[in-house]
Structure 1
Amino acid sequence: MKKLLLLILLSGFAEAYSQINNPYGLQVINEHVAYKKSVEEDKNKQLIEIKKSIPDIKLEIRYAGKNNFAKQAVYKQARAFARLPVVEALKNVQNELKKSGFGLKIFDGYRPYSVTVKFFAIASDKSFVANPKDGSRHNRGCAIDLTLIDLKTGKELEMPTPYDSFAAEAASDFMNLPANVIQNRELLRNTMEKHGFRVLNNEWWHFDFIGWKNYELMDIPFEDL
């Protein structure tokens, strides 16, 4: 009986901290105890550090510096996380690409909800940032921003635009481009989609993992994971 009462109290404690103070009434996990409870109930909800699981993957975490559309650092640490099934799928993508001499470079993964709020406030073109009234797939740990690199040189393959571009050419179906650029973009897209990802229409670099709706919005900073 005491154990049952303790479980009820812990459940209520976690629930009490699972909603951030936002005007949209969204359920957002913003306390570590609530996050740990969700992982205990479903191990697939664990946020995995991508580099630790895939050591040969490259990182360039733009939002940990000023080389991004916001022109400011919004992360205290240059790290990338994603839910367990997302990381397992990325591992399969990386292994397939390696056979052809290519690899992945990650720009961003899991993004705390508070960062999405900040981005929406400062973005000049709101169509390129998630609306905080809905939250982002990044907030759920189910979206990845990335590109391809040549494993021999370490250089990025030529793509339609730089990362974070608001240009029309950033659209995943924009066709007025050199043939090699389209080929590179399609290699990335086809390989990612083969392993359960779907590209965002206006960002060739952004991929959502199937089943993202099964994961809660999160607002836990990297340093607490």
Structure 2
Amino acid sequence: MKAFFQLIAFTLFATIGINVRAQKLYVTSTLSEYNAAIQKSPEKQLIDIKKAIPDITLDIRYATDDNFMNRVMYSEASAFARKPVVAQLKKIQKELRKKGYGLKIYDAYRPYAITVAFYEQASDKNFVANPAKGSKHNRGCAVDLSVINYKTKEEIPMPTPFDSFAASAAVTYQNLPEAVIKNRDFLIKTMESHGFKVLNNEWWHFDFIGWQNFELLDIPFKSL
């Protein structure tokens, strides 16, 4: 099975012009291997975010055709993340609820095969992860999210919609209404105070600090 996956990865990399001979990338692609890793390190378990945080809102765009790919990429509208990532999200949700807000999750764990598909089609490679390195999403250590008014479930105004390739998606972009900048900075400050770091060109994307301790995964949602 490992040899088969390596052959598939080689073919995919060659198709999209990645120098695979220079890579030493390994992706966990079998459920047995993933379960073995959890037995050794329970914190590596992928947790269903909605089950762990019932009052969180999901808007899993890749389970619909409302995304930059314009087609359904996920077999189900689920959101998973590694155990310590979900623990921090739970703290953030609790903190936001006290202020009348809540989190809306667009994406979390992403199987590696989806990252390959994104890279093949994206018009701007600056907004998608290079499969030669893999994504923090593939490690279960990145989340795409925004803030909502918890009572109305409406998103508070942000610089761009989710997954926008516009320059205004960058966290340093300033030609915006003052209220929008305030909302963006509020989200970033809240997330970074709980162990996440924002991606500079995507206000909605946050990487968990310590992602290096988690392997790349290509486990489908239906197996989790």
TM-score, length of structure 2 as denominator length: 0.92
Structure 1 runs (4+) greater than 3 angstroms displaced:
15-21
What amino acid is aligned across from residue 8 of structure 2 in structure 1? Answer: N
Q: In 1, distance between residues paired with 2:183 and 2:28? A: 37
* TM-superposed deviation, 1:173: 1.3
Q: CA deviation at 1:20?
A: 7.2
Partner of 2:124: 125
Paired residue for 2:188?
Answer: 189
Corresponding residue of 1:111? 110
Secondary structure of 1:204's counterpart equals strand
Deviation digits for residues 139-179 of structure 1, max 9, x if unmatched?
Answer: 00000000000012110000000001000000011111101
Q: 1:8 — aligned with what?
A: none
Q: Which residue of 2 aligns with 1:144?
A: 143
Aligned to 1:21, the other structure's residue is in SS state helix
* Residue aligning to 1:22: 9
Structure possessing the higher radius of gyration over alpha carbons: 1
Name the residue aligned to 2:31: 32
- Provide the C-alpha distance between the structure 1 equivalents of 2:118 and 2:81, rounded to a whole number of angstroms: 20
**Where does the alignment leave 5 or more consecutive residues of structure 1 unmatched?**
1-12
Please say which of residues 127-136 and 23-32 is displaced more in the overlay. 23-32
For 1:37-186, list aligned pairs within 5 A: 37-186=36-185
Unaligned runs of 5+ in 2: 11-19
Q: Secondary structure at the match of 2:173?
A: coil
Q: How far off is 1:183 after superposition? A: 0.8
AA aligned opposite 1:29:
T
SS in 2 for 1:34: helix
Instruction: Give the match's secondary structure for 1:94.
Output: helix
The 2-side partners of 1:180 and 1:17 are apart by 52
CA shift at 1:21, angstroms? 3.5
Q: Secondary structure at the match of 1:208?
A: strand
Counterpart CA distance in 2 for 1:56 and 1:17 is 41
3-state DSSP of counterpart to 1:136? coil
Deviation at 1:17, TM superposition (A): 8.3
Distance 2:181 2:210 in 1: 28
Identity %: 57
RMSD: 1.5
How do residues 194-213 of structure 1 correspond to structure 2 at under 5 angstroms?
Answer: 194-213=193-212
Q: Partner of 1:76: helix, strand, or coil? A: coil
Shift in Å at residue 22 of structure 1? 1.6
